[in-house]
């Protein structure tokens, strides 16, 4: 009641404090300490790094959510608790009180997102002249902090996926605008005076359409995930459980596929600009620099792939993912049944892509059953991309099926067909990498020594 309304209204901002110098992907080893006090509060002592918006003067107060360990906590992730630590303590009447014992020690110098301060935070240094230890309030139960943090992290993963979508969309719009203006050479079939706009060159048009397909596919995956999250809240009983599982399955794909797409599309955008893409004044380079963080934070995309393979595929003993794949196949069948010429080879390509996904899924589930974890993990990232590509094809097809088909130009059908006939063939290579890549990876590992 004291804090949340002010955060929702934007009067105060918040941070998530997980990372420490030696504890990034593996939070089980974090060292920040929490000590119990007689008045029910806690004292927090330690160092956090890479904290987004850890310090700034945009709002009067900053509410830090901090993971820390109690003295008698069990080792590993089961001994982590979550604390709310305001920059300024809050008086009973809601006014701001004393400065809490937390401060920003330094700012990171980064590749991109220069509008976002990334801070090293020190808790409990005694800098403000009081007893050492920032005053913190427990959120949820002691030693259950990671579960609480995951409520936020699952939302944050989807939101970071949307950062990827947003950057990809911006990069695509900028590249299309440039390609219409910039003239160079004469494209095959160009009948205008002088040089043609570069958008007329097949290579540029293919690049722009790839950018558009990856952007729209990523957006659709993120929306499908958001829809599943909403349904999990709105539905009851078994339905709610099913939607909860669906959102769990989609979250790592939404995070990883969309953020990888952000980087890939921003890079393609630079290519469309030619040399001007490498020059700061066009703004194309900034998209790439800003996009590059999204596959790293909120759990690296490699960690998302591990989550997808080891925790999400086994949901309901594989029934969740199998049910989902059956739904994807229905979309391919609906495209075939639509008999719309504009879809070209889409139905057959979708069918083949879904079969690749199914084959890779079965293989991974069998490796997990047999305890062959290293084999399963060797192909986890390839599998994650395979899943995202299949979903891109399927969701673009759903968009095409929803289009009126009234004789005007069916733009969604055209994009869907482009993706099906130009991008989806990658799924068979990805399946091959999942199923056949592990042995050579294990054999070659020692050459890295
Ligand atoms: C700009 C920026 C903002 C950030 N904002 C925040 C924030 O607000 N709050 C916060 O708490 N943190 C924040 N972070 C930290 C971020 O979440 C971590 O950097 C990220 O989780 C990765 O941890 P790490 O850097 O320690 O990399 P590491 O964990 O050391 O990983 C290095 C590489 O090894 C891989 N790897 C690690 N473990 C495994 C494994 N078990 N299996 C396979 N591969 C593995 C990773 O995928 C990665 O490729 C931010 C980071 C940056 C750069």
What is the CA(299)–ligand 1 centre distance, in A? 6
Give the integer Cα–Cα distance in Å for 52 and 102.
Answer: 15
Model confidence at 404, pLDDT cuts 50, 70, 90, reads: confident
Q: What's the pLDDT score for residue 15? A: 97
Q: Is 70 exceeded by the pLDDT of residue 163?
A: yes
What is the CA(294)–ligand 1 centre distance, in A? 11
Residues noted as catalytic: 298
Lowest-confidence region among 121-130, 356-365, 367-376, 377-386 = 121-130
Q: Is 70 exceeded by the pLDDT of residue 279?
A: yes
pLDDT tens-digit readout, 50-103: 999 999 999 999 999 999 999 999 999 999 999 999 999 999 888 999 999 999
> Which two three-digit tokens encode residue 121?
């935070």
Give the integer Cα–Cα distance in Å for 392 and 70.
Answer: 45
Model confidence at 207, pLDDT cuts 50, 70, 90, reads: very high
Q: What's the pLDDT score for residue 130? A: 81
> Which two three-digit tokens encode residue 372?
């062959």
Please state the atom number of ligand 1 nearest to the C-alpha of residue 54: 8
Model confidence at 319, pLDDT cuts 50, 70, 90, reads: very high
CB 361 within 8 A of CB 321: yes
Model confidence at 406, pLDDT cuts 50, 70, 90, reads: low
Alpha carbon separation from 343 to 336, 403, 410, 412 (Å, rounded): 9, 12, 10, 10
Q: Is 183 in the pocket of ligand 1 (CB under 6 A)?
A: no
CB 202 within 8 A of CB 187: yes
Give the integer Cα–Cα distance in Å for 370 and 223.
Answer: 35
Looking at ligand 1, which residue's alpha carbon is closest to its atom 31?
Answer: 25
pLDDT tens-digit readout, 303-314: 999 999 999 999
Give the integer Cα–Cα distance in Å for 65 and 86.
Answer: 8
> Which two three-digit tokens encode residue 277?
């893409």
Tell me the average pLDDT across 254-282.
97
Model confidence at 281, pLDDT cuts 50, 70, 90, reads: very high
Looking at ligand 1, which residue's alpha carbon is closest to its atom 42?
Answer: 303
Give the integer Cα–Cα distance in Å for 80 and 275.
Answer: 50
Q: What percent of the chain has pLDDT over 70?
A: 99
The CA-to-CA distance between both ends of the chain, in Å, stands at 55
Q: Which domains does the chain have, with CATH numbers?
A: 4-143 (2.40.110.20), 149-442 (1.20.140.10)
Q: Is 70 exceeded by the pLDDT of residue 408?
A: no
Q: What's the pLDDT score for residue 407? A: 63
Alpha carbon separation from 25 to 47, 220, 302, 313, 390 (Å, rounded): 16, 28, 10, 21, 28
Q: What's the pLDDT score for residue 131? A: 86
Q: Is the dihedral of CA 287, 381, 161, 349 positive or negative?
A: positive
Mutate to test the pocket of ligand 1, among 48, 155, 303 (most ligand atoms within 8 A of CB): 303
What is the CA(297)–ligand 1 centre distance, in A? 6
Q: What's the pLDDT score for residue 150? A: 85
Q: Is 119 in the pocket of ligand 1 (CB under 6 A)?
A: no
Residues 6+ apart with CB under 8 A from 231: 239, 240, 243, 246, 247
Q: What's the pLDDT score for residue 370? A: 97
Alpha carbon separation from 390 to 44, 51, 304, 306 (Å, rounded): 46, 35, 17, 19
Q: Is 303 in the pocket of ligand 1 (CB under 6 A)?
A: yes
Q: Is 110 in the pocket of ligand 1 (CB under 6 A)?
A: yes
Estimate the share of the chain in helix, then strand, then coil, as percent rounded to the nearest 5: 60, 15, 25
Task: Find where tokens 């084999």 sit.
Answer: 375
Residues 6+ apart with CB under 8 A from 263: 164, 288, 291, 292, 294, 295
| Mean pLDDT, rounded, of the chain | 96
Q: Is 52 in the pocket of ligand 1 (CB under 6 A)?
A: yes
Q: Is 80 exceeded by the pLDDT of residue 338?
A: yes
pLDDT tens-digit readout, 268-278: 999 999 999 99
pLDDT tens-digit readout, 113-155: 999 999 999 999 998 888 899 999 999 999 999 999 888 888 9
Q: What's the pLDDT score for residue 409? A: 74
Q: What's the pLDDT score for residue 380? A: 98
């Amino acid at each position: 009641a004291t804090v949340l309304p002010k955060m929702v209204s934007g009067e105060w901002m918040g941070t998530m404090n997980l990372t420490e110098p030696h504890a990034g992907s593996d939070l089980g080893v974090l060292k920040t300490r929490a000590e119990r006090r007689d008045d029910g509060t806690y004292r927090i002592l330690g160092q956090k790094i890479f904290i987004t918006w850890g310090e700034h003067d945009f709002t009067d107060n900053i509410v830090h959510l901090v993971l820390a360990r109690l003295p008698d906590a069990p080792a590993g992730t089961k001994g982590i608790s979550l604390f709310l630590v305001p920059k300024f303590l809050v008086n009973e009447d809601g006014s701001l009180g004393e400065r809490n014992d937390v401060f920003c020690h330094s700012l990171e110098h980064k590749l991109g997102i220069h509008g976002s301060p990334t801070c090293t935070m020190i808790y409990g240094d005694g800098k403000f002249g009081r007893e050492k230890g920032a005053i913190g309030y427990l959120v949820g139960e002691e030693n259950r902090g990671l579960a609480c943090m995951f409520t936020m992290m699952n939302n944050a993963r989807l939101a970071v996926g949307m950062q990827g979508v947003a950057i990809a969309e911006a990069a695509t719009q900028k590249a299309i605008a440039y390609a219409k203006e910039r003239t160079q050479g004469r494209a095959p079939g160009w009948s205008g005076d002088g040089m043609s706009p570069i958008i007329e060159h097949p290579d540029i048009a293919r690049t722009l359409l790839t950018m558009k397909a990856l952007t729209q596919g990523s957006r659709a995956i993120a929306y499908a995930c958001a829809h599943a999250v909403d349904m999990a809240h709105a539905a009851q009983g078994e339905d709610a459980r099913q939607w909860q599982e669906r959102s769990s399955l989609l979250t790592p794909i939404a995070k990883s596929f969309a953020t990888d797409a952000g980087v890939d599309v921003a890079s393609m955008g630079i290519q469309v600009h030619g040399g001007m893409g490498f020059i700061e004044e066009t703004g194309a380079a900034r998209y790439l620099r800003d996009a590059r963080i999204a596959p790293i934070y909120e759990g690296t995309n490699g960690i998302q792939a591990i989550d997808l393979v080891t925790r999400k595929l086994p949901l309901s003993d594989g029934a969740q993912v199998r049910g989902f794949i059956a739904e994807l196949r229905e979309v391919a069948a609906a495209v075939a049944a639509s008999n719309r010429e504009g879809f070209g080879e889409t139905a057959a390509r979708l069918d083949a892509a879904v079969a690749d996904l199914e084959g890779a899924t079965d293989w991974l589930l069998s490796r997990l059953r047999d305890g062959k974890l290293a084999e399963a993990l060797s192909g986890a990232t390839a599998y994650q991309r395979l899943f995202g590509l299949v979903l891109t094809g399927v969701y673009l097809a759903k968009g095409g099926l929803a289009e009126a088909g009234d004789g005007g130009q069916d733009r969604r059908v055209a994009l869907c067909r482009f993706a099906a006939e130009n991008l989806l063939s990658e799924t068979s290579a990805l399946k091959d990498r999942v199923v056949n890549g592990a042995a050579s990876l294990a054999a070659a590992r020692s050459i890295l020594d």
